[in-house]
Amino acid sequence: MASSAAASAASASSAASAAPKRPSCDNGESRIKKKRQRIPSACSACRKRKVKCDKKRPYCTSCLKNNIIHLCNYMEPTWS
C-alpha cells in the first residue's frame, strides 16, 4: 500500500507542476476594463416586476396575462 500511495502522490505533484501558469502583468500599468453597453432584452414591465419575460413582440405573454400591455415596451439601442 505504501508504494501505491507514493505513486499517487508523485502523479499529483507532476499534474500540479504541468498546470499552465499565467504571465504576470506587473509592468506598472493598470488596465481599466470598459463596462459593456448592452440593452436589456426583457420588457420594462417584466424588469420592474422582476418576472421572466418571453420577449415576444409587440407584447409579451406576461403582460398580456396581467392585462398591462400598455406598460409593455422594449428599450431600443441608442446606436441604431
Q: How large a percentage of the chain has pLDDT more than 70?
A: 61
> What is the reported pLDDT for 24?
58
Q: How many CB atoms lie within 10 A of CB 43?
A: 26
Region 36-56: what's the mean pLDDT? 88
Domains of the chain plus CATH, in order, are 40-75 (4.10.240.10)
pLDDT digits (tens, 9 = 90+) for 10-33: 555 555 556 666 655 555 567 888
C-alpha grid cell, residue 26: 506587473
pTM of the model: 0.49
Res. 39 pLDDT band, cuts 50 70 90: confident
Region 22-47: what's the mean pLDDT? 76
